[in-house]
Chains A and B, each alone.
Chain A
Amino acid sequence: MINYLQKFWGGLFTILIGMRVTFKHMFVPAVTIQYPTVRPELPERERNRLYVNMDDCIGCDQCSRACPVSCIDIETVKSIPGEDLGKTSNGKKKALWVTKFDIDIAKCCYCELCVFPCPTDCIYMTDVYEFSEFERSSFIYDFVTLTKEEIEDKKKNFAEMQAQKEAAKAAAAIKAAEEKAAKKDEPGKKPDNEKDVKLMGVYEIIFYLFAAVTLVSAVFVVTSRNIVRAAFNLLFTFFGVAGIYVLLGADFVAIVQLIVYVGGILILLIFGVMITNKITEVDIKTGTLHTLPAAIGVGLFTGIVGAVVLNTEWRVVDSEMPESTLTTLGHMLITEYVLIFELLGILLLIALIGAASMARK
């Protein structure tokens, strides 16, 4: 009997020991959450479904090029002159109609690499993580805001503009040929639209002039045996480059080029030439090394770079030249680039002190 009771007690006791853990958990708060009704808090910088704010998209294609799995597909159509597409929220001008902006979210690897290159911050990761579908094709998200008719319309407009341009070109060519013929026939008579033709050519002529000045004097800089002559040719190179800046609408940079390069660096270089040579003769000579292999190598390099430049289809945006870049550059210097601006100030100070102390020794 005693034996039986002992066994009974032993059984009960071990059950209670076993149940202890269970009982303990009755007083512990639940760790599972009731998912659809209760949602876990997402960590900061969580990467989920992509979203594109088409109001800000300029169709620059940079996100598509950054995507390692090429899940973004963008097509754009150029706007015709006079069409106003509005501006993005950070003041960039839109120039392209985005006719296709598909993101295949099934391919997306959530690397966020497309987000960083966007100049207008219009593509970003949202906090939406539930987007299962029954069809694979429904994973392709279409962000385009234009309707199909509008897209057709834009494409047609662009094609028409292109055709018009072609036609105008052809007409101009025919007219030029006719004029030539007419001139030949009656050399005394002046054609009516000669002024227009001339105005069209001025920009080109100035460009070729500056380019020739730059390149020819640069050739003399690197080949002339007389250092002082080379330095003076460098002056013309800097002038030519400044002219090219003006043609590119960079008036302030051109002025800075003239002041800093021509007024500062060149004078410094000539001082260097004068100080570091015993001036016994009038012309100061310098030797050259390995000219032939260098010429061959550089010639090959020029060929490669030139071929790349000529064979690349550059995506050009036709923006009109700004009136003056000074205001914009000033604003950028004290807002977006203020840190670099200050750092450059410190750098110049360091260079100044360093150069002075080094040269004084």
Chain B
Amino acid sequence: MLEISLTHFLVVSSILFCLGIYGVVTRKNAVMVLMGIELILNASNINFIAFARYGNFGLQGQMVALFVIVLAAAEAAIALAIVLNVYKTFVNINVDELDTLRD
């Protein structure tokens, strides 16, 4: 079997990243768009940690990954609050139908 190297992790993360982009682009439901964003953030985190492991940077990559996780948590909370408000105003959260800025 092939020896696992940096490339393997990078390939996994790039596929995950592209799946996340696909989710963000194609989904109608705003919550599903958020899930796509989480996939993208996870893919970037795999990259950070893979480079922390295989590069000579110490643990800085893991540090950045931790910060990304914190930001993802904050982002999810705020975004879901926005989604709730949108739902209260428009009764649905399909991003393709939300084209008015005021009610």
Contact = CB atoms under 8 A, between A and B. Distances in A.
Contacts of A205: 1
Nearest to B47: A309
Interface in B7-49: 7-12, 14-23, 25-32, 34-36, 38-39, 42, 45-46, 49
Interface string B68-103: 011111111110111111011000011010000000
Main DSSP-derived SS at the B contact region? helix
A50 interface: no
A194 B87 CA distance: 60
Contacts, number: 243
B14 to A, nearest CB: 4
A223 to B, nearest CB: 8
A305 B84 CA distance: 36
B46 to A, nearest CB: 6
Contact of B15 (A231, A248, A302): A302
A268 interface: yes
B80 A344 contact: no
B65 to A, nearest CB: 5
B96 to A, nearest CB: 6
A215 B59 contact: no
Contact of A309 (B14, B27, B46, B83): B14
Interface residues of A, number: 89
Interface residues of B, number: 75
A291 B56 CA distance: 41
Main DSSP-derived SS at the A contact region? helix
Contact of A253 (B35, B54, B66): B66
A248 B53 contact: yes
A103 interface: no
Contact of B21 (A238, A276, A298, A340): A298
Give me the 4 closest cross-chain CB pairs, A-B, nearest first. Answer: A222-B23, A351-B74, A358-B81, A286-B29
23 contacts: A204-B3, A205-B1, A211-B8, A218-B16, A230-B35, A260-B70, A269-B35, A272-B83, A276-B31, A286-B28, A288-B27, A289-B27, A289-B28, A290-B25, A294-B25, A298-B25, A309-B11, A310-B7, A344-B67, A344-B70, A348-B70, A356-B81, A358-B78
